[in-house]
Amino acid sequence: MSGYDLNSASDHWLQVINTLPSLVELHLISCNLSQIPQHLSNTNLTSLTNLDLSYNIFNSSMPRWIFSLSKLVYLDLTSCLFHGPDLVDRVSGFHNLTNLKVLHVPGNDFMNSTLVLRGLLSLTSLEVLDVNTCNIAEPILSDLSNMTSLVYIDLSQNQILETLPNSFQNLCNLTFIDIRDNFYSGNVSDFLNNLCECKSPKLQYLAFSANRLFGHIPDRIGQLQNLVTFDLAFNKRISGTIPESLGRLSSLEDLRLNVNLLSGRLPDSLGNLTSLKSLEISFNNLSGTLPQSLGKLGNLNFLSVHHNSLSGLVTEDHFANLTALDTIRAEGNTLTLKLSDNSWVPPFQVGILSIGSWNLGPHFPSWIQSQTNLWDLDIANALISDTMPSWFSSTFSNIDYLNVSFNRIQGFLFQNVSFLAPKAVLDLSDNDFEGPIPETFNEAEFAVLDISSNRLSGNPDPFLCPSLEKSRSLKVLDLSNNNLSGVIPDCWLNWPNLSVISFQNNNFSGEIPQSVMELPSLESFNIRNNSLSGEIPASLLNLKSLQILELAENDFYGRIPMLIGREETNLKLLSLRSNKLDGEIPVELCRLTSIQILDLAHNNLSGTLPTCFYNFSSMFEKRELSPFVLYDVPFQVKVLGSASLVAKGRELKYTSILYLVTTLDLSGNKLYGSIPKELMGLLGLRWMNLSGNHLTGKIPEEIGEMTLLESLDLSVNEINGRIPWSISRLSLLSSLNLSFNKLTGQTPTGTQLQTFNESSFTGNLLCGPPLSELCENKGISPDANTGSEKDQNYDESDVNWGFVISVVLGYIISFWAVIVPLIASKEWRNKYFNFLYKMWFKVRNTICK
């Protein structure tokens, strides 16, 4: 009855079942049942051996009557979602099913019970155990080693935390074992050697990927000659070389060793795996070249060796018999394709060709023209110095992903974009394309368009403001690092799905167009280093999705806009550096609780430092920050936030690790007052620059709590007092500049502070290493500034007030004991002044002699 919709049917089918007293098999697969009919439990099913209720979402308690079916041999409850508060009591009857041989229960949380799992272990006749995706956390694999009838074990996609057992030599009937996506640890070498103890191992499927296994692949792996699938991917710790004995697995079809620490050369014996269909060994440390023997793998359709350290020559012979090949992922290596015949036509027709960072140049590879099924092409950084061939646009019809970046491709951008599929990714960045952006580009339904770092000129108005208005799918637009000029067009409502706009390092002028503020999905807006002017619109800072706002190095003037409304924003990076902004820093900026990078340097800002910066929770907390993933692009491409930041005296561009950076840069302004101690509460801050202002007062002692600081610049201010001893606790500090202030005393000793250059402290009244001025020459004790932190923090609470009062009273009593008699008695006054005169006379005569 499988496949019939019984949920809305009458009970007639139950009546039919009731007429079958000797029913042996009942299959109700995908019958859209939401509950088991109550009358079914009253039916005579004592002869039932096979029960299949799979793919019905009951979402109810496990029925008790199932465990009374003592003759049951086959039970399939896949994706039934059985649960219930009294579930453990109901299913404890698993041990009654003594004849059960096949159990499929994926997707049922009731299996996450110690009592249930212990009941399973009593099923000594069990041959198939399928409990994947059951939310199991209890160790179970070790206990299965005594169930010698097991042929099939699937524990995948659970949360099992367990060490691989070394007791599987008894399971010689095992053909299938899948423990993928768990938390298994241990030495995979020992486990595989243990499996090889069987005289005639029958294992065909072994999948241990996405665990925490370590060790190497043993030479004895060649004894598992029935293996069809061997999967150790995504363990990240499996090391050593790929053994030659792997080539003896003549039945192997699927080999997955990617994302580990494998090294050495690929063995030539891989060419003996004539049944191999998929070879995945990407993201390892493999070296040498591709073995020519791979050309013998006539059944291979998926080749993935990308992101290793492979080098050397690849010729036509490497692909000689690869007629079934559909996917080549080999980017991230430094291989050189050397063809003996420029008219070479490959024997394959691939859909994915990813060979970026290979040496394919200097001419554009003409053999690509033969790959008419191509929909994903990556030939970035391939040393191509040529123009885009005229055949390119007419050869392909459904390109989803095209990456030719980081070459030296010249000429104009192609006019015909009809070869691009809807929501395509087009990356032409870092080449030598010139001329205007073709108007025809607005005919393509891009998801990502990156034509940055070329020599494009003119204004993008014809492309951005087409005559035919329609909503478009473009999410990422990068025109940065070109020679584009004019006013930024004000027609952004044509592009409502935009997440990323980057126009930095061009020659745009005018103001920020109003329609930009109406893009609801905008996450990154970068117009750094242009000639834009006007006041910064407040509504720009209020875009709810905005994470990155880069307006640095323009001519914006006026005050920093106050945030409108009371809702917190998602802004993580705000850079207004090198503009003409004035006024005070508005306290409303303190509502940017997600801010990680705040750069207001080199403006005309005045006033004091806001104490409310303490609200910057991403700077305040020492915690793991999330990457700036602005848009997930198909085919393993992610658009990450990027920014140019000035730190440690240099301007650097950050992309993939931008989320690790926390920066506060207020340098080059007219800020005054003291450094608030609340600022020292930004414990997650890595770079802080307050230089070039008019700050006064002392460096707060609490600065020693900012233990993640890597760069600190307080130079060119009017800060006075000593350098606090606590600064010596900043063990990660690699750049320090306290020069040209009014600091005094000795530089703290016993830390890495002495390793900094003398220029870090010059222009102060300091002494001691690394300065050439010795403290003894200034009358300062060598240990004057190296006392304990308690000494440095001495305050009124440490004063012995009893002692102070006693001294003061003593002076007062002594004073009146002498002065009062002199005032009250004339005789005492005469004797006292006569005494002073005689003493003066004696001293004068002594000096004259």
Beta bridge partner(s), residue 153 = 129, 177
Q: How confident is the model at residue 843 (pLDDT cuts 50, 70, 90)?
A: very low
Supply 779's token pair.
Answer: 């009358």
Q: How many C-beta atoms surround the C-beta of residue 100 within 10 A?
A: 25
**Does 318 have pLDDT greater than 70?**
yes
Model pLDDT, residue 326: 97
**Does 790 have pLDDT greater than 50?**
no
DSSP characters over 787-802: S-HHHHT--GGG--HH
Beta bridge partner(s), residue 387 = 410
Q: What's the CA gap between 288 and 727, in Å, rounded?
A: 49
pTM here is 0.84
**Does 804 have pLDDT greater than 50?**
no
Closest CA to 765 of 751, 750, 780: 780
Residue predicted with more confidence, 30 or 88: 30
Above pLDDT 70, what percent of the chain? 81
Model pLDDT, residue 552: 96
**632: DSSP letter:** E
Q: How confident is the model at residue 650 (pLDDT cuts 50, 70, 90)?
A: low
Q: How confident is the model at residue 529 (pLDDT cuts 50, 70, 90)?
A: very high
Q: How confident is the model at residue 323 (pLDDT cuts 50, 70, 90)?
A: very high
On whether the CB atoms of residues 302 and 281 are closer than 8 A, the answer is no
* Average pLDDT, integer, range 797-813: 49
Model pLDDT, residue 82: 86
On whether the CB atoms of residues 719 and 742 are closer than 8 A, the answer is yes
Closest CA to 714 of 734, 726, 696, 732: 696
Q: What's the CA gap between 434 and 46, in Å, rounded?
A: 81
| Domain positions in the chain | 1-126, 137-227, 241-359, 521-796
Model pLDDT, residue 614: 85
Q: How confident is the model at residue 795 (pLDDT cuts 50, 70, 90)?
A: very low
Domain 241-359 has CATH 3.90.1580.10: no
On whether the CB atoms of residues 27 and 1 are closer than 8 A, the answer is yes
Q: How confident is the model at residue 818 (pLDDT cuts 50, 70, 90)?
A: low
Which tens digit of pLDDT belongs to each residue from 722-753? 999 999 899 999 999 999 999 999 988 766 77
Lowest mean pLDDT among 47-51, 158-162, 240-244, 576-580: 47-51
Give the list of residues 6+ apart from residue 17 with CB closer than 8 angstroms, or none: 23, 26, 40, 43
Give the architecture (CATH level 2) of 1-126: Alpha-Beta Horseshoe (3.80)
* Average pLDDT, integer, range 461-487: 89
Q: What's the CA gap between 331 and 239, in Å, rounded?
A: 22
* Average pLDDT, integer, range 127-135: 95
**Does 846 have pLDDT greater than 50?**
no
* Average pLDDT, integer, range 487-512: 94
**Does 190 have pLDDT greater than 90?**
yes
Beta bridge partner(s), residue 663 = 597, 687
Which tens digit of pLDDT belongs to each residue from 2-11? 445 455 555 5
Q: What is the mean pLDDT of the chain?
A: 85
CATH topology of domain 521-796: 3.80.10
**Does 754 have pLDDT greater than 90?**
no
Model pLDDT, residue 210: 97
Q: How confident is the model at residue 817 (pLDDT cuts 50, 70, 90)?
A: low
**Does 578 have pLDDT greater than 50?**
yes
Give the amino acid at 265.
Answer: R
Model pLDDT, residue 797: 37
Q: How confident is the model at residue 820 (pLDDT cuts 50, 70, 90)?
A: low
Model pLDDT, residue 837: 42
Q: How confident is the model at residue 60 (pLDDT cuts 50, 70, 90)?
A: confident
The CATH number that domain 137-227 falls under is 3.80.10.10
**Does 346 have pLDDT greater than 80?**
yes
Model pLDDT, residue 86: 55
Model pLDDT, residue 145: 83
- Cis status, amide bond into 627, omega within 30 of 0: no
Which tens digit of pLDDT belongs to each residue from 374-425? 999 999 999 999 999 999 999 999 999 999 999 999 999 999 999 999 999 9
Lowest mean pLDDT among 40-54, 248-262, 494-508, 791-805: 791-805
Q: Which residues of 140-154 are buried (b: 16+ CB within 10 A; e: fewer)?
A: bbeebbebeebbbbb
Q: How confident is the model at residue 490 (pLDDT cuts 50, 70, 90)?
A: very high
On whether the CB atoms of residues 155 and 174 are closer than 8 A, the answer is no
On whether the CB atoms of residues 370 and 345 are closer than 8 A, the answer is yes
Compute the residue count for the chain.
849
* Average pLDDT, integer, range 310-337: 97
Q: How confident is the model at residue 840 (pLDDT cuts 50, 70, 90)?
A: very low
Q: How confident is the model at residue 657 (pLDDT cuts 50, 70, 90)?
A: very low
Model pLDDT, residue 789: 44
Q: What's the CA gap between 578 and 583, in Å, rounded?
A: 15
Which tens digit of pLDDT belongs to each residue from 411-465? 999 999 999 999 999 999 999 999 999 999 988 888 999 999 999 999 999 999 9
* Average pLDDT, integer, range 487-501: 93
**Does 803 have pLDDT greater than 50?**
no
Q: Do domains 137-227 and 241-359 have the same CATH topology?
A: yes
Residue predicted with more confidence, 200 or 289: 289
